[in-house]
C-alpha cells in the first residue's frame, strides 16, 4: 500500500521490469514465494531465461532430511525450468550424486559449478565433470571427498579454473 492508501498493481508491471526484480532473488524465494504473487509473475518465473543462473546458497547450515529433500526437489525443478540453458549453479549443504548427475544430464552448457558444505557426494562429481564439456569454473569448498576422486577430476578439467578447498575424508 502506498502512503496515500492505494495498492500497487504488481501484476501490471512490464515483463522486463518483473524479470529484473525477480532476478535479484534467490532460487528458493522465487519458487516458494515470488511466483505465487500473481499470474504475470508466475509467467515470468516459467521463462527459461530466469533459470540461467541458479543460486541455492542458504544460511540454514544443518538441514534435516525433509528440508534437504525439499531443497533437492526445488533445485531439480529450477534446473528443469532452464530447459538446458543453465550456465551457473551454486549449491550449499544439500548436493548429492543424483542431483549432480541430473544437472549434468540436463545442462550440458554449464560453465560454473559451485558446491559447498555438501557431504553426500562421492563419485557423482567425477561423473558430472565428464559430462560438462564447457565447464570453466569448479569451486568445491568444505566438502568430503576421497582424495582419489579429486585426483581423477583434475585431468577431466584440464587447465580450467578450479578452486578446491575440500575437507578430505
**Residue 11 is part of a domain; what is its CATH number?**
1.20.1280
* Pair 33, 71 in one domain: no
Task: Return the top range by mean pLDDT from 6-10, 58-62, 69-73.
Answer: 69-73
Provide the whole-model pTM.
Answer: 0.84
Residues 141 and 117 sit within 8 Å (Cβ to Cβ) = yes
The better pLDDT of the pair 16, 103 is held by 103
| 83-101 per-position pLDDT tens digit | 999 999 999 999 999 999 9
Q: Are residues 23 and 84 in the same domain?
A: no
Distances (CA, A) of 111 to 13, 32, 76: 32, 26, 18
Q: Are residues 92 and 33 in the same domain?
A: no
The model's pLDDT over 118-164, given as tens digits with 9 standing for 90+, comes to: 888 878 888 898 899 898 888 888 887 777 776 677 555 555 555 65
CA dist 115 and 113 (Å) reads 7
Q: How confident is the model at residue 169 (pLDDT cuts 50, 70, 90)?
A: very low
Residue 13's contacts (CB-CB under 8 Å, 6 or more residues apart) are 21, 40
Distance between CA atoms of 56 and 92, rounded to whole angstroms? 6
| Res 141: pLDDT | 86
Q: Residue 158: give its domain's CATH number.
A: 3.80.10.10
How many other β-carbons are positioned within 10 Å of the β-carbon of residue 7? 7
For residues 34-58, one letter each, b for 16 or more C-beta atoms within 10 angstroms of the residue's C-beta and e for the rest, the string is: bbeebebbeebbebeebbebbbbeb
57 pLDDT tier (thresholds 50, 70, 90): confident
> Is the predicted pLDDT of residue 168 greater than 90, yes or no?
no
- pLDDT: is 155 or 42 the higher one? 42
Range of the domain at 124: 51-165
Amino acid at each position: 500500500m502506498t502512503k496515500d492508501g492505494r495498492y500497487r498493481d504488481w501484476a501490471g508491471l512490464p515483463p522486463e521490469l518483473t524479470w529484473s526484480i525477480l532476478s535479484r532473488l534467490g532460487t528458493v524465494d522465487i519458487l516458494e514465494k515470488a511466483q505465487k504473487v500473481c499470474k504475470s509473475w508466475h509467467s515470468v518465473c516459467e521463462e527459461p531465461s530466469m533459470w540461467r543462473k541458479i543460486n541455492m546458497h542458504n544460511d540454514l547450515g544443518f538441514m534435516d532430511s525433509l528440508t534437504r529433500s525439499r531443497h533437492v526437489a526445488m533445485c531439480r525443478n529450477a534446473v528443469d525450468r532452464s530447459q538446458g540453458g543453465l550456465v551457473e549453479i551454486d549449491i550449499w549443504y544439500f548436493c548429492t550424486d543424483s542431483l549432480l548427475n541430473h544437472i549434468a544430464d540436463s545442462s550440458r552448457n554449464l560453465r560454473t559449478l559451485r558446491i559447498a558444505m555438501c557431504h553426500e557426494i562421492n563419485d557423482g562429481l567425477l561423473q558430472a565433470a565428464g559430462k560438462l564439456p564447457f565447464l570453466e569454473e569448479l569451486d568445491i569448498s568444505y566438502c568430503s571427498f576421497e582424495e582419489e576422486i579429486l585426483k581423477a577430476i583434475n585431468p577431466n578439467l584440464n587447465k580450467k579454473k578450479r578452486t578446491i578447498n575440500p575437507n578430505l575424508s
